[in-house]
Amino acid sequence: MAEYVTAVIGGQLFGLPISRVQDVFMPERLTRVPLASSEIAGVLNLRGRIVTVVDMRARLGLPKADDGKPMAVGVDQRGESYGLLIDQIGEVLRLPDDSREDNPVNLDPRMAKLA
């Protein structure tokens, strides 16, 4: 049985392995990074750690949201901490391992990279 934290980005539901999720927070005081790619929203201090914040809408090639402040999910990847800007956090889902399916052939290639 695998557990996932769900997040909505551009109307699409994503699942993040719960073992990688450290925090859910509202990002404040983002500091822009000069010459960083467009998907890097900036860096912030999260409980004494400097965390790189990735704009998931930009990463997926989606337009910027105009409906207020985004939420962020703190994740750990290879010992580094990142904040992922998302539109909305969902719930924790428990899914049986045998319920996994391959990506559909018509899945947008931008989404398939992250699936």
For each of the domains in the chain, give its residue range(s) and CATH number, in order of start.
2-99 (2.40.50.180)
Query: pLDDT tens digit string along 19-66?
Result: 999 999 998 889 999 999 999 999 999 888 899 999 999 998 888 877
Report the percentage of the chain scoring pLDDT > 70.
Answer: 99
pLDDT at 37: 93
Helix (H) or strand (E) holding 79: none
More confident position, 16 or 112: 16
Chain segment 84-100, per-residue pLDDT in tens: 999 999 999 998 988 87
Give the SS3 label for residue 111.
Answer: helix
CA distance 39 to 22: 21
Helix H or strand E segment including 56: helix 56-59
